[in-house]
Amino acid sequence: MRKTHIAKFLGAAMALTMAFTGCASNGTGSTASDSAADSSAVEGAKKIGVIQYAAHPSLDNCYEGIRQGLVEAYGEDGVVIDLQNGQGDGATCDSISANFVSKGYDMIYAIATPAALSAYSAASKSDIPVIFCAVSDPVAAGLTESLEAGIENCNGTSDILDFSAQVDLIQSIQPDVKKIGVLYTTTEANSLSQLASFKAVCDGKGIEVVEQGVSGAADIPQAATTLASQVDCINNFTDNNVVNNLTIVLEKANAANIPVYGSEVEQVKNGCLASISIDYIALGKKTAEMGVEVLNGTDPKTMAVGTISDGTPVINSEVMEKFGFTVPEKYADAEMVTTNSEADAA
């Protein structure tokens, strides 16, 4: 059984105040001054800036994986991490990234596409490498040359979703599905890329994709209501804006008696019906390992983008019962969860 451990670090303490803290603190936030943090660090410790686009469970898990990977590589006293939350705002991300560069950190880790774009832009005129995590389409975002090669001082990991497996899961639970709704943010490059890939898979299976784009959080309640009235189910991507407002999407979908499928385990624990899930802690650890390789002298341009190859079927048993669905025999060994829970069985 796989259990996902969300970093306790993240929550109310993830405001824009500096959390410049050594890993020996086990991830507990700190408001210590930079000089105090510097004086407590072991001489020669790596100084790492981490910019997380927003605080939601999948990105929290990315950070936890990065933290674990860095501690494994350098020891708790051998790395000092400055974790900052961009609060889902591009201008805030730009300010954080510029601050990291001005401090001359050894490396910047950037979690999610908007944070990665901001970090790379800020660091591009410096020697500071940027390692991104959970960027769905790094090529389209201009963060790599291809999935086999990075660019100058930039590479990382992608949370590319297995849409073929996801649609197979949906069809197994709802064999008569004809229309799948997708709510996405029109300004998130990762969501546009995922939408194109998802539509291609659905077209091949004779399923219509009904799109509903939003420009921000304020658009989500009405967009979700409209979308739920037109489809057999909704499929959620790793769209940061939508994930941050998943409670609203679920509320509107439930009112229309429409299930929502997630893209990772935390969304299923929050009330989505099922997903082929990525282990974001494992993705974060892979991201940390890539960064360690770069700090050891490997050129990011020579590295392939890191991915997690195998998705895990995860099903919310409570939501299945609510909609009167039966777990398909094909997924009898799926990871079963209940709303806001750890995994119940594997």
> Per-residue DSSP letters for 134-202?
S-S-TTTTTSEEETTEEBTTEEEB-----HHHHHHHHHHH-TT--EEEEEEETT-HHHHHHHHHHHHHH
> What single letter denotes the amino acid at residue 101?
V
Backbone angles phi, psi at 129, to 5 degrees: -75, 145
User: How far apart are the C-alpha atoms of 41 and 96, rounded to whole Å?
Assistant: 22
Annotate 88-123 with DSSP letters as a single string: T-HHHHHHHHHHHHHTT-SEEEEESHHHHHHHHHHH
> What single letter denotes the amino acid at residue 143?
L
User: 146 and 196 share a domain?
Assistant: no
In a domain, 6, yes or no: no
User: 143 and 131 share a domain?
Assistant: yes
In a domain, 2, yes or no: no
User: 167 and 89 share a domain?
Assistant: no
Across the range 160-186, mean pLDDT stands at 96
User: 148 and 37 share a domain?
Assistant: yes
- Of residues 146 and 13, the one with the higher pLDDT is 146
**Token code pair at residue 178:** 């004809």
In a domain, 9, yes or no: no
Q: What is the pTM of this model?
A: 0.78
User: How far apart are the C-alpha atoms of 201 and 209, rounded to whole Å?
Assistant: 10
Predicted confidence at residue 41, as pLDDT, reads 61
User: 52 and 39 share a domain?
Assistant: yes
pLDDT at 4 over 80: no
In a domain, 94, yes or no: yes
pLDDT level of residue 342 (50, 70, 90 thresholds) = low
User: 198 and 315 share a domain?
Assistant: yes
User: How far apart are the C-alpha atoms of 48 and 35, rounded to whole Å?
Assistant: 15
User: 44 and 187 share a domain?
Assistant: no
Predicted confidence at residue 11, as pLDDT, reads 36
User: How far apart are the C-alpha atoms of 179 and 176, rounded to whole Å?
Assistant: 9
User: 235 and 245 share a domain?
Assistant: yes
pLDDT in tens, 229-260: 999 999 999 888 999 999 999 999 999 999 99
Number of Cβ atoms within 10 Å of the Cβ of 62: 29
User: 336 and 217 share a domain?
Assistant: yes
Predicted confidence at residue 56, as pLDDT, reads 86
User: 181 and 318 share a domain?
Assistant: yes
pLDDT > 70: what percent of the chain?
Answer: 86
Counting the structural domains of the chain, the total is 2
pLDDT at 298 over 90: yes
In a domain, 108, yes or no: yes
User: 90 and 225 share a domain?
Assistant: no
Mean pLDDT of the chain, nearest integer? 88
Helix, strand, coil in percent for the chain, rounding step 5 = 40, 20, 40
Q: For residue 62, give the CATH number of its domain.
A: 3.40.50.2300
pLDDT in tens, 299-336: 999 999 999 878 899 999 999 999 999 999 999 999 99
pLDDT level of residue 340 (50, 70, 90 thresholds) = confident
Predicted confidence at residue 341, as pLDDT, reads 60
Predicted confidence at residue 294, as pLDDT, reads 98
Judged by average pLDDT, the poorest of 28-42, 63-77, 215-229, 278-292 is 28-42
In a domain, 75, yes or no: yes
pLDDT > 90: what percent of the chain?
Answer: 78
User: How far apart are the C-alpha atoms of 239 and 38, rounded to whole Å?
Assistant: 36
Across the range 274-287, mean pLDDT stands at 96
Residues 309-324: b if buried by 16+ CB within 10 A, e if exposed: eebbbbbbbebbeeee
Domain of 53 in residue numbering reads as: 20-159+279-302
| Listed residue (152, 143, 148, 151) closest to 110, CA to CA | 143
